[in-house]
Amino acid sequence: MKKRNICLLVAILLLSGFALWSIVPFNTKLLGPDGLTLGLDLKGGSQLLYEADLSQKNPSVTDEQAISSAVEKIQRRVNQYGAAEPTIQRQGADRILVQLPGVRNISEAIALIGKTALLDFREQELDQDGQPVLDDEGNWVFENEPATAEGRDGEERILTGEYLKLATVDVDPYSGSPIVAFEWDAEGAHLFEQITERNLQKPLAIFLDDELISAPIVQGVIRERGQIDFNRPVPLSEAETLAIQLNSGALDVPLTIIDQRDVDASLGADSIRKSLLAAGIGLVLLLVFMLLYYRLPGLIACLSLGIYGTLLLAIFKLFSAQLTLTLPGIAAFILSLGMAVDANVLIFERLKEELRMGRTLGAAVETGFDRAWPAIRDSNITTFIACIILFWLGGTFGAFMVRGFALTLFIGVAMSMFTAIVVTRTFLRLVVGTGLAANPAAYGVKS
């Protein structure tokens, strides 16, 4: 056996061993505890489709910038919310698709994502005599306009969430109720100091999206830090959602929900079960055919397919942050498996033709691979082109399941080329070099 073949065999075994190690269900820092990342159709969860009103964006930014900023802020909110493996993607020119696998409370998800979380403060409205104005129910009335103060540059500024540095959830030590503590940046602290100084012993209303959240009495001059006390008992989750919204900032454009779906996890489990059953039946039939028709090369092809499947699963495991396995992805995986066999069929048929023409076994193997390569290359290139078109169209028209199918098929076909040309060829060369199977009958050719 040539030294080159030995080196290739060692490399293939090492690569296969690493791939097999990466997909075994051990909880390590490299692999993580959750295995492959499942998409919404397999894991279940919530899907929201938003449409942005670009006519209300800031005129100084482009449509592209407004949508990109909204996607980024939604991503930050969802990440802080704790949804596992969320998908936030732009769909078309003015739509945003949000998929939250494992999230069952779709109403809470909508409230989290859709709110603009515009924080401002408003001072108490006084009458001509300087007395507080009360409404019909005897409640304080506050100014319609947010409170302003002089900025460090001497300009009059509104104190909003724009100057917020950090918002965190805490618990009031006296009442035990959740509160939201916030911290200003230098400019915000400068403005807040002036506003609280002129409102000592007066109520200062805290508004979120024009809704009164709290109206505490200012007990002292406050600079960097303050807190939001709710006027009513609230669950901890509501305070956490408010903190997330404040930390993420206001969305750049108003969003309207045009579609919402709640995907049941049981449907995903049933889909996985049926897909695995179909793949198992197809794989068994495939292996039986290859062994009966091609004999020794068929056995080598079966070994190559095992390595192919292991490598492909390892790719999805190691790059789980970028690759999500969906039901169309499983279909593409099975399809690429068939295409991997197709490459072996082309090679083995050429090998049999060369043997029938009287070539030696070693010459037949090399010539068979060389003559099958153009057909394998051209067929796979056309598949790559189709995958690229599907991926582009899926992103343009928002058919993200199509994108998942195209990406998985592309990776699978590329991996099938590697196993057919490198793995299968190396195994055949080693068998021929050892002289263990020199009879043409072992290759499906009558001697």
Domain count, the chain: 3
Same domain, 69 and 108: yes
> Do 135 and 236 share a domain, yes or no?
yes
C-beta separation of 315 from 332 below 8 A: no
438 and 302 co-located in one domain? yes
Q: What's residue 32's pLDDT?
A: 38
Short-list 325, 194, 210, 213, CA closest to 271: 325
Same domain, 293 and 411: yes
Q: What is the mean pLDDT of residues 247-268?
A: 70
CA proximity to 119, closest of 164, 166, 80: 164
Given 262, 285, 317, the domain boundary residue is 262
Are 84 and 19 members of one domain? no
Q: Of 187, 221, 248, which residue constitutes the final position of a domain? A: 248
**Residue 174 sits in the same domain as residue 98:** no
CATH code where residue 348 lies? 1.20.1640.10
Q: Report the b/e string of 310-338 with b at 16+ CB within 10 A.
A: bbbbbbbbbebeebbbbbbbbbbbbbbbe
Grade residue 122 by pLDDT with cuts at 50, 70 and 90: very high
Same domain assignment for residues 178 and 67: no
Of 14-18, 171-175, 377-381, minimum mean pLDDT range: 171-175
**Domain span including residue 426:** 3-38+264-443
Q: What is the pLDDT of residues 171-198, one digit of tens each?
A: 887 778 888 888 888 998 999 999 999 9
d(CA 103, CA 371): 53
Q: Quote the mean pLDDT of the chain.
A: 80
Among residues 262, 285, 307, which one ends one of the domains?
262
Q: What is the pTM of this model?
A: 0.57
Categorize the per-residue pLDDT at 40 as very low, low, confident or very high, splitting at 50, 70 and 90: low
What is the tens place of the pLDDT at every residue in 299-351?
A: 888 898 889 888 888 887 777 655 667 777 778 888 888 788 888 888 888 88
In one letter, which amino acid is 260? Q
DSSP state of 172: -
Question: Residues 168, 186: one domain?
Answer: yes
Q: 108 and 15, same structural domain?
A: no
Are residues 276 and 330 located together in one domain of the fold?
yes
| Same-domain check for residues 298 and 380 | yes
**By percentage, how much of the chain surpasses pLDDT 90?**
7
**Which pLDDT value is given to residue 128?**
85
CATH for 221: 3.30.1360.200
* Pair (268, 382) in one structural domain: yes
CATH code, domain carrying 52: 3.30.70.3400
**CA distances for 199 relative to 78, 125, 207, 433, angstroms:** 36, 12, 16, 92
Give, in order, the Cα–Cα distances in Å from 113 to each of 103, 140, 157, 289.
13, 31, 28, 53
